Chain A
Amino acid sequence: MSKRKPTTPIETDQWRSVEEHDDPAAAQAALAREFPDGASELEGASRREFMQLVGGTLALAGVGTLAGCKDPPEKILPYNVKPGDVAPGKPLHYATLLTHGGYATGVLATAWEGRPTKIEGNPDHPVNKGATSSFDQAAVLSLYDDSRAREIKQHGTGKSWNEFCHTIGKHADGLKGDGGSKLAFLVEPSGSPLLASLQKRIAAAFPKARWYGHGALSMDEAYEGARIAFGRPLETQLDLTKAKVVVSLDADVLGAWPCWLSAQRQWSERRAPGSEMSRLYVAEAALSCTGMMADHRLRARSSDLARLARALHAAVTGGSSDAGDAKANAWVKAVAKDLLGAGGEAAVVVGARQPAAVHAMVHAINATVKSAAVSYTAPVLPTYDRIGALADEIKGGRVDTLVITAWNPAYSTAGDVAFAQLLGKVPNAIYLAAHEDETAASAAWVLPRAHELESWGDGRATDGTVTIQQPLIKPLFNGVTTAELWSAFLGEGGMGGYNLLRAAYPTLDEVAFQRQLQKGLLDNTALPKETSALQSGAITGAVEKLTAPAGGLEVNFVPDHRVLDGRFANNVWLQELPDPVTKLTWDNALLISPATGRKLSLKTHDRATLKTHGGSVTASVVVQPGHADDSVTIALGYGRNNSAEVNARGCGVNVFPIMSSGMQSGRWFDGGASLEKAAHGDKLAITQEHWNQEGRPIALEVANRAVMQKHLPIVDEVKGPVESMYEPHSYTGFKWAMAIDLNKCTGCSACVTACVAENNIPVVGRDMVKRSREMHWIRLDVYFQGSADDPTSVQPQPMMCVHCEKAPCEYVCPTNATVHSDEGLNEMAYNRCIGTRYCSNNCPYKVRRFNFLDYHPNVQNIARMGMNPDVTVRSRGVMEKCTYCVQRIERARIDARVAGRELADGEFTTACAQVCPSKAITFGSLHDKSSEVSRGHDDPRAYDVLHELGTRPRTAYLARVKNRNPELNNG
């Protein structure tokens, strides 16, 4: 046996946090341990003390435990009359939809004997085509949320639905007298044709009733921008497969735009290195998923983007306008040249937070460069008056009955509107409440809102495709839908959700309706493309009215990547999901650039007080590399301290009170803020520095696609045989493997949530995350390169068990709990694991997770209905890790073999690969040379992480190749 050569790790200039960038040695010392200090200790007691205590307890309990050797007898309760389609142990899939910002996403929900457990994208849906987001993945947990509103209440007294309909019916008759002039509706704008038809009918019965809109992702400015540019509101439709140059102005088109699921797919299709590879320019304040993928990212304050857009517009039309500083001017010049040279294969996208005039300017730019990637349709969402107008009406005493179906306006409204106080003045406020939250506290009537998986309904996707919603389960907590609530005003409260929906589609016969219901959408209902002439005069006029960039410190409010505007705050899967960029869990924070941090002597974890025109809040600071200087960003949706949403309590701070409705562009950013250091507080739970790479090259990147030929030198460096003292395994059949394309992965983290949902992964809570005890099988690392202030590259990389063929973990397990399968899986037999953690210690990838405590203590509560019955629920003291979704492999294999055929490539995939919007993850067998994953492994960009260790991982990463503009080499 030959002696193994010592390996020399190749140094890399990548870093993961400002602390590591500034002082690599100190950061390294802090991370030298496998788990951080204290991760393995109990709160307040050392291991030795604990053993003493437990020893005594066990001795006392000894007699009792002996008697309990045999499990209590179990009972089987069969169906008395078995429903036709249901076979116990065989899950069924139903097409339905989930709504996000009023737009529908087509999904397939998996149900086990009537219990929904998992969401997948509907592959037949023309927009998301099988992809879903973290929000969609976490919908199952929201369904089984124990703290949802349960009862119809009038001033706290329980009522039945019939009583409500009766009372409201009589009340509505009274309102009809003067045409409903004292009736108002506060709605969340939605593309639903059913709600539109109900609104029309209510408006006919109550012609003087007023409608107001309120929601987190308002498209008002976008529609207004189109109205300025084209004379009427239009929906921008993107097709990034037709864009060779993509420019995103504060848009986060790959992470938060309404159509980001389809945008990611289309964009990633054009990211294969080659002459057709697209180039992405991003200008934004806070680093976003799109910003991480940018070939050239310009740090710009949100209020500077108007000037930047104007300069870009001038540059493409042959004029000139100052973009700010030299760097911005160079950026604009290069972008304009690229846009004009793309021959129509270009798209400029602007974020919903920007004012209408900037949207109008971007329409003009797209028209000038004759963009084939941007087209227009009628708006998907209706436009309403804003909540400020409603506040005035209430103040004037002109609202007697207010029907609130928007989410929690008492919490999610800018402070100066003081909506919570005003709501108390409305005698008959009727609130459709997901939880008994801030709004429910001041509403006369509170009705439990049915979860989307309990509802009949419909919606429109971003392209207008009518998508149908069907319930997977009867409402668990007597919930009603918006449509059902509205129908009570038409005297149709007894109709029920299905009949209301069916009545909205009178032209479809029953057979056709059932067919579309099964498919989850109505064929060919995408809105037709519309063309409109550009009104240059109006655009110029609007641009001139734009205010100058704000002076002083700029404050940015953004919808959160995890809790949105706070509506998902009680969803622990989302609370514990690390933010794609900051890796922050369970909190929001003030994001500032390193330069601003130095100026104000603020570091990550410090507390600071943010003062705006609207007031002040104190929150923790995160120094975010790549953030714009003199600007601070904080996410909405935290500081939820109502009594119902127990999981959200104590998470972050609420910034709605310091917003003002009069802020530029409605309410999203403003200047004149100040930030001051405040007294120390608790540390934040940030996962960024957990499980460190110790300076070794893990996420490879090449700066220019021109370098990309047959071989990549940087990849070739980490290839070739490595000597090993272990005999190689031999594989005769399937060789399960994965390939992850770093060119496509945007770090959106949908895979992490999908993995949690599929594999019954526990949530551990903020304190446990701080001790690096998070249980996520996938972690999304972010690697930076360049200076801390303005990194030249930010690279997300998903990392989970790579299923080594020569697995270091397997050699050290004393109980054979982790062993190698004949197909190359690195298996975990949980019932054999005694928790020595040797495997984790010996794992160079740091992908094993240990159950320090029993993280499923509430298995008795309703949340256990959402568990995947195909996966063992792990208990305390057991090691776990990514299994390549072995339960899916076995299920697909059994199905294929029972049917008498071999398992084919593409018949199934892992949860992470299935959810991935950009198709960055592929899974399959290497024994089939034509499989997708084989092609990934054969790609010249493919490399093994930590190849020099000779572990022969089955997960190959494809090095990221950027498409930098040679004219812009400095940024």
Chain B
Amino acid sequence: SVCMNCHAQIWNQSPYLDLVRKAYFSGQPIEWKKVHRLPDFVFFNHSIHVAKGVGCVTCHGRVDHMAEIRQWSNMQMSWCLDCHRDPKPNIRPHKYITAMIEEAPGQGTIEAHFSESGSGTAQNPQTMSDVHTRTSCSTCHR
């Protein structure tokens, strides 16, 4: 029903949206193919990454250029850890979180804290995101 908020008016004849209309009128949800899959023993939380300034594009790539969604990053543990060990290059100002640009203005200039004891204030632009890097196993494996 979320899609149909707009697509009831826009492109409401488009053959690409046949499935969406079918789901809307039949009440049967679309069976989406899962593209980004993590193993069951990995616990990933979107909200904290978004809140701390990791843009969509950083992990999912330029989905605006993809005819069909595909996995852009390798999603292996070393890839996660690279960023968890040095998040600074990937942290962007909040207003560019959803922006489909690889390098957002101001990206990589925001200081990240490297210890648990850090408590930056949300007002300070340099520590706006107040990122704490975490590399303990239980950060993702529980």
Contact = CB atoms under 8 A, between A and B. Distances in A.
B7 to A, nearest CB: 14
Interface in A859-875: 870-873
B39 A831 contact: yes
A885 to B, nearest CB: 9
B95 interface: no
Contacts of B14: none
Given A733-B115, A733-B117, A870-B142, A73 B41 contact: no
A86 to B, nearest CB: 14
Given A73-B33, A732-B115, A890-B43, A821 B1 contact: no
A557 interface: no
A887 B34 contact: no
Interface string A80-93: 11100000010000
A872 B115 contact: no
A781 interface: no
B130 A900 contact: yes
Interface string A58-76: 0000000000000101111
B130 A871 contact: no
Given A74-B37, A900-B122, A887 B142 contact: yes
A152 B134 CA distance: 55
A77 B41 contact: no
Contacts of A613: none
B31 interface: yes
Nearest to A900: B122
Given A74-B37, A822-B136, A831-B39, A80 B1 contact: yes
Interface string A820-836: 01110101111100000
Given A74-B37, A900-B130, A883 B1 contact: no
B27 to A, nearest CB: 6
B142 A883 contact: yes
A164 interface: no
B136 A823 contact: yes
A77 B29 contact: yes
A894 B45 contact: yes
B23 A80 contact: yes
A897 B52 contact: yes
B62 interface: no
Given A733-B116, A831-B41, A75 B34 contact: yes
Interface in B90-122: 115-117, 119, 122
B39 to A, nearest CB: 7
Given A78-B32, A821-B136, A825-B136, A870 B43 contact: yes
Contact of B48 (A71, A872, A873, A898): A898
B9 interface: no
Contacts of A927: 117
B45 to A, nearest CB: 5
B47 A890 contact: no
A897 B132 contact: yes
Given A825-B136, A871-B142, A886-B142, A76 B47 contact: no
Given A73-B34, A733-B116, A831-B41, A821 B137 contact: yes
Contacts of A872: 40-41, 141-142
Nearest to A81: B1
Nearest to B40: A872
Dominant secondary structure of chain B at its interface with chain A: loop
A821 B43 CA distance: 17
Given A77-B32, A902-B119, A897 B51 contact: yes
A819 interface: yes
A81 B4 CA distance: 11
B139 interface: yes
A734 interface: yes
Nearest to B135: A822
Contacts of B30: 77-78
A887 B43 contact: yes
A827 B142 CA distance: 8
A79 interface: yes
Nearest to A897: B48
Contacts of A897: 48, 51-52, 130, 132
B128 to A, nearest CB: 10
Contacts of B40: 872-873
A897 B53 CA distance: 12
Dominant secondary structure of chain A at its interface with chain B: loop
Contacts of A900: 51, 122, 130
Contacts of B39: 831
Contacts of A79: 29
B72 interface: no
A736 to B, nearest CB: 10
Given A732-B115, A894-B48, A74 B34 contact: yes
A827 B117 contact: no
A78 B2 CA distance: 11
Contacts of A873: 40
A890 B142 contact: yes
A829 B141 CA distance: 6
B28 interface: yes
B78 interface: no
A880 B89 CA distance: 37
A76 B142 contact: no
Interface in B38-72: 39-41, 43, 45, 47-48, 51-52
Interface in B74-99: none
A102 to B, nearest CB: 39
Contacts of A886: 138, 142
A883 B139 CA distance: 12
A906 B34 CA distance: 38
A821 B138 contact: yes
B29 A819 contact: no
Contacts of A74: 33-34, 37
Contacts of B24: 80
Contact of B138 (A73, A734, A883): A883
Contacts of A71: 37
A872 B41 CA distance: 6
Contacts of B31: 75-77
Interface string A797-837: 00000000000000000000001011101011111000000
Given A827-B137, A890-B138, A76 B32 contact: yes
A734 B117 CA distance: 8
Contacts of B141: 827, 829-831, 872
A831 B138 CA distance: 12
B24 to A, nearest CB: 7
Interface of A: 71, 73-82, 89, 732-734, 819, 821-823, 825, 827-831, 870-873, 883, 886-887, 889-890, 894, 897-898, 900, 902, 927
Given A78-B30, A733-B116, A890-B45, 20 more contacts: A74-B34, A76-B31, A78-B29, A80-B1, A80-B28, A82-B1, A89-B45, A733-B117, A819-B137, A822-B136, A825-B136, A829-B141, A870-B142, A872-B141, A889-B138, A890-B139, A890-B142, A897-B130, A897-B132, A900-B122
Interface of B: 1-2, 23-24, 27-34, 37, 39-41, 43, 45, 47-48, 51-52, 115-117, 119, 122, 130, 132, 134-139, 141-142
* 8 tightest Cβ-Cβ pairs between the two chains A and B: A733-B116, A821-B136, A76-B32, A74-B34, A898-B51, A886-B138, A829-B137, A887-B142
26 contacts: A73-B33, A74-B34, A75-B34, A76-B34, A77-B29, A78-B29, A80-B24, A81-B1, A732-B115, A732-B116, A822-B116, A822-B134, A822-B136, A825-B138, A830-B41, A831-B41, A886-B142, A890-B139, A890-B142, A894-B45, A894-B48, A897-B52, A897-B132, A898-B51, A900-B51, A900-B122
